[in-house]
Amino acid sequence: MIISMKLHATRGEIDAVCERIRDFGYKVHSIEGEERVVIGVVGTGDVTTCLESLEAMPQVENAVRISAPYKFVSREFRPGKSVIRVNGTDIGGDEFVMMAGPCSVESEKQILETAYAVARLGAKFLRGGAFKPRTSPYDFQGLEEAGLKLLRKAKQETGLGVITEVMSDRDVPMVAEYADILQIGARNMQNFALLKTLGKAGKPVMLKRGLSSTIKELLMSAEYVVAHGNPNVILCERGIRTFETATRNTCDIAAVAVLNELSHLPVILDPSHATGKRSLVPPLCRAGVAIGADGLIVECHPNPEKAMSDGAQSLSLQQFANMMNELQPYIALWKQARVHEAVVA
């Protein structure tokens, strides 16, 4: 359910409504604007009686049932776009956000060279894996905390925010100490213990769509994080597994538009994992901008041929520079469209 309070409701009036909701056995999540408060209600119980009781309270403007199974991440709960401010950058706002860096942190020289290059070219976040889930147990698994320390050094020297993957609920406190955004990889999209822990971690989360997961399943996983106390969730489309073998995965580009329609959460596109081929990354980036993604997360490396993981899909730093230059006209149109959307809203 969603409860809209009347304009300029007092704190006492809001608390009274929250108390009435709890009396019916429901949990309360509120969004407080400058003038109006909206209260989200979740749980099981006598919905009809609860709605009737709340509608009878003089300080309540209206009370409606949310039909979507994902309550807090749906557009029904929050019609406008959520904006998540991280390291001085608004994700989901009027700035197109680029996240870039290597698949894995390999050395101090590699990560610093990459960080300086992508920062100079307009990226706002440095991506890099310190913990790497790999299909083969014999492949490079990441530098772990040593890699996190190198990411922090890169941030200190360049000012970039850091996004990196966390694989286990037990590692959340350590990774949160170093990272600005905690990434949940595709393989962990439905790791519910991890999702619950991230809900209590107090750091923004980027949730990647699972290898064979539906959009509804992605949104339900996001709901886990939000329902456990963390509203700062970013969705990421990174390609899904289909019968097609020409690319590493099949990029469901339409998912970006669908997610923007169903959810208020920011949406990021990962063209690197979606294609597995560096030649396909720039055109897919253009498509991502055109269809309304809030940003991109792209793999690049000083020497992709010698990368310890995902070299085939990583751009060289020069290729990344060329792509960023090519994207500028598309981003300019994106900004115009975002301003128009804000005026219409």
23-37: pLDDT as tens digits: 999 888 777 665 668
Q: What is the predicted pLDDT for the residue at 133?
A: 66
pLDDT digits (tens, 9 = 90+) for 125-162: 999 999 876 667 666 667 889 999 999 999 999 999 99
Check pLDDT > 90 for residue 165: yes
Q: What is the predicted pLDDT for the residue at 134?
A: 61
Q: What is the predicted pLDDT for the residue at 68?
A: 86
pLDDT digits (tens, 9 = 90+) for 247-258: 999 999 999 999
Check pLDDT > 90 for residue 17: yes
What's the pTM value of the predicted model, to 2 decimals?
Answer: 0.90
Q: What is the predicted pLDDT for the residue at 344?
A: 67
- Give the count of beta carbons closer than 10 Å to the beta carbon of residue 124: 24
Which domains does the chain carry? 2-64 (3.30.70.1140), 84-344 (3.20.20.70)
pLDDT digits (tens, 9 = 90+) for 38-91: 888 888 778 889 989 999 999 998 888 888 889 889 998 888 999 999 999 999
What tokens does 201 get?
């971690």
| Three-class DSSP category at 64 | strand
Q: Within 13 A of 179's CA, how many CA atoms are on the CB side? A: 31
Percent of the chain past pLDDT 90, that is, above it, reads 76
Percent of the chain past pLDDT 70, that is, above it, reads 95
Q: What is the predicted pLDDT for the residue at 1?
A: 84
Please give the mean pLDDT across all residues of the chain. 93
Higher-confidence residue: 5 or 210? 210
Choose among 217, 216, 205, 238: nearest CA to 82.
Answer: 205
Q: Helix axis angle, 108-120 relative to 317-344, nearest 10°?
A: 50
Q: What are phi and psi of 127, to 5 degrees?
A: -100, 150
Q: What is the predicted pLDDT for the residue at 100?
A: 98
Sign of CA dihedral 219, 224, 229, 234: negative
Q: In whole angstroms, how far apart are CA 193 and each of 12, 42, 64, 264, 330?
A: 36, 20, 31, 24, 40
Q: What is the mean pLDDT of residues 289-313?
A: 96
Long-range Cβ contacts of 306-312 (<8 Å, 24+ apart):
307/102, 307/103, 307/104, 307/106, 308/103, 308/104, 308/106, 308/140, 309/103, 309/104, 309/129, 309/132, 309/134, 309/139, 309/140, 310/103, 310/104, 310/272, 310/273, 312/276, 312/277, 312/278
Q: What is the predicted pLDDT for the residue at 35?
A: 61
Q: What is the predicted pLDDT for the residue at 339?
A: 87
pLDDT digits (tens, 9 = 90+) for 208-223: 999 999 999 999 999 9
pLDDT tier at 286, thresholds 50, 70, 90: very high
Q: What is the predicted pLDDT for the residue at 223?
A: 94
Check pLDDT > 70 for residue 303: yes
Q: In whole angstroms, how far apart are CA 162 and each of 149, 158, 203, 244?
A: 11, 11, 12, 33
